[in-house]
């Protein structure tokens, strides 16, 4: 045995899966491609299957920007234009098997407001509270932006948060951004886990 045994992480109706921004523009070939971004798709499909089997809700967030969003370089931001509403780049990656009962949360819709977190200016926290969700499992794109912000906001909202390392990838604008984000999430009180640890 190596290391300490972690506490079990059971999936139940009090847990929700948050699939963060698995959209074409964040995958290879997209406007703001995350290296290996498409590799999260089969892993997330396994998580989705597990959560469905336990009747636990699945939520998908999406970056959903107007054409003149302030995070875009032509409008003073740092990113190339990406995830523009109703364009192919904003569509969920083909092959991601979201359940038909999935709840979709759109963010970044106000041109003047950047929203990395699925909790910012959305109904996500009310949605979770109304269903008495206690723990959120969070994976997707990108580890160092929207996944991190979503995990940190979940903790701030009083939820337990589990960062799904095998279902996430970082942009790594600077080479270690993804690893630093993992540390930051854990320092804030989130747990880091993989499918093998949860499904066992």
**Which of 25, 38, 63, 153 is the binder for Zn ion (CB under 5 A)?**
63
The residue among 141 and 151 lying less far from ligand VGL, judged by its C-beta, is 141
**H or E segment and range at residue 192:** strand 191-193
142's contact among Zn ion, ligand VGL, none, with CB below 5 to 8 A by partner kind, is: ligand VGL
Nearest-approach distance from CB 27 to ligand VGL, in angstroms: 11
Enumerate residues 23-42 that contact Zn ion by CB under 5 A: none
Side-chain half-sphere CA neighbours of 138 within 13 A: 34
133's contact among Zn ion, ligand VGL, none, with CB below 5 to 8 A by partner kind, is: none
Q: Rounded distance, CA 156 to CA 79, Å?
A: 27
Cite the active site residues: 21, 107, 146
Q: What is the 3-state secondary structure (H, E, C) of 38-95?
A: HHHHHHHHHHHHHHHHCCCCEEEEEECECCCCCCEHHHCCCECCCCECCCHHHCECCC
Enumerate residues 103-142 that contact ligand VGL by CB under 6 A: 116, 141-142
79 near ligand VGL, judged by CB under 6 A? yes
Q: Rounded distance, CA 134 to CA 182, Å?
A: 21
Which chain residues interact with ligand VGL by CB under 6 A?
21, 26, 63, 71, 79, 116, 141-142, 145-146
């Amino acid at each position: 045995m190596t290391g300490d045994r972690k506490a079990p992480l059971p999936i139940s109706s009090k847990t929700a899966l948050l699939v963060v921004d698995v959209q074409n523009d964040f995958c290879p070939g997209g406007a703001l491609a995350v290296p290996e971004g498409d590799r999260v798709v089969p892993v997330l499909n396994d998580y989705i299957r597990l959560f469905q089997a336990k009747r636990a809700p699945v939520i998908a967030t999406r970056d959903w920007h107007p054409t003149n969003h302030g995070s875009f370089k032509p409008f003073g931001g740092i990113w190339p234009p990406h995830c523009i509403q109703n364009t192919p780049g904003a569509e969920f990656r083909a092959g991601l098997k979201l359940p038909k009962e999935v709840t979709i949360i759109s963010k970044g819709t106000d041109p003047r407001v950047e929203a990395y977190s699925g909790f910012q200016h959305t109904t996500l926290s009310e949605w979770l509270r109304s269903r008495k969700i206690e723990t959120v499992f969070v994976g997707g794109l990108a580890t160092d932006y929207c996944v991190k912000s979503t995990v940190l906001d979940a903790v701030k909202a009083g939820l337990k948060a589990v960062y799904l390392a095998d279902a996430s990838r970082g942009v790594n604008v600077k080479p270690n951004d993804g690893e630093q984000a993992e540390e930051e999430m854990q320092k804030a009180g989130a747990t880091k886990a993989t499918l093998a640890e949860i499904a066992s």
